[in-house]
């Protein structure tokens, strides 16, 4: 049985994180930007779990559990905000959200 180098896992995590960054920077649909945020949180979790296995540290898995909880709370609040913005502006295009622009 062969093994997986931890650097491969970290590379996968980095690639997923960069893809999430690209989504946040490029997409104009606010919901897809939110999904990209989740992708970034998820890649951070993957790095945490890889280090947990590498250093045999069970605490890192607990940290991932907390990150998941906070992400779930964030999604609940964020989507409620999105519904509220849609109610006032009738669009979730990020380019339309420029009311505070000077």
Partner 1 sequence: MLVVFFILAFVAVGTAVSMLVTRSSIYAALFLVLNFATVAVLYLILGAPFIALTQITVYAGSVVVLFLFVIMLLGAERLPGGESLKWQRLVAIGLAIVLSADFGVKMIGENTMLTSVTAPPEGYGAPAEIGKILFTKYAFPVEITAVILLVAVVGAILLAKPDEKPSVREGLRKKMDQEG
Q: Based on CB atoms, which residue is closest to partner 1, 1 or 100?
A: 1
SS3 label, residue 27: coil
What tokens does 21 get? Answer: 């960054």
Distance of alpha carbon 63 from alpha carbon 74, whole angstroms = 16
Q: How far is residue 87's CA from residue 101's CA, in Å, rounded to a whole number? A: 20
Q: Is 64 in the site for partner 1 (CB under 8 A)?
A: yes
Q: Give the integer Cα–Cα distance in Å for 36 and 30.
A: 10
Residue 34 binding partner 1, by CB under 8 A? yes
60 within 8 A of 48, measured Cβ to Cβ? yes
Instruction: Give the total of residues touching partner 1 (CB under 8 A).
Output: 70
- 57 touches partner 1 by CB under 8 A: no
DSSP class of residue 96 equals: G
Minimal distance, residue 85 CB to partner 1, in Å = 10
**Closest distance of CB 102 from partner 1, Å:** 18
Which residues here bind partner 1, judged by CB under 8 A?
A: 1-12, 14-23, 25-29, 31-32, 34-36, 38-39, 42, 45-46, 49-50, 52-54, 56, 58-59, 61-62, 64-66, 68-77, 79-84, 86, 92-93, 95
């Amino acid at each position: 049985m062969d093994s997986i180098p931890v650097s491969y896992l970290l590379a996968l995590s980095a690639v997923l994180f960069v893809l999430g960054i690209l989504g946040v920077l490029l997409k104009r649909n606010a919901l897809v930007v939110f999904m990209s945020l989740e992708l970034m949180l998820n890649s951070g979790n993957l790095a945490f779990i890889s280090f947990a296995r590498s250093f045999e540290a069970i605490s890192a898995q607990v940290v991932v559990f907390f990150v998941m909880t906070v992400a779930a709370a964030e999604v609940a609040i964020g989507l409620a905000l999105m519904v509220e913005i849609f109610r006032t502006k009738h669009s979730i295009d990020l380019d339309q959200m420029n009311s505070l622009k000077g």
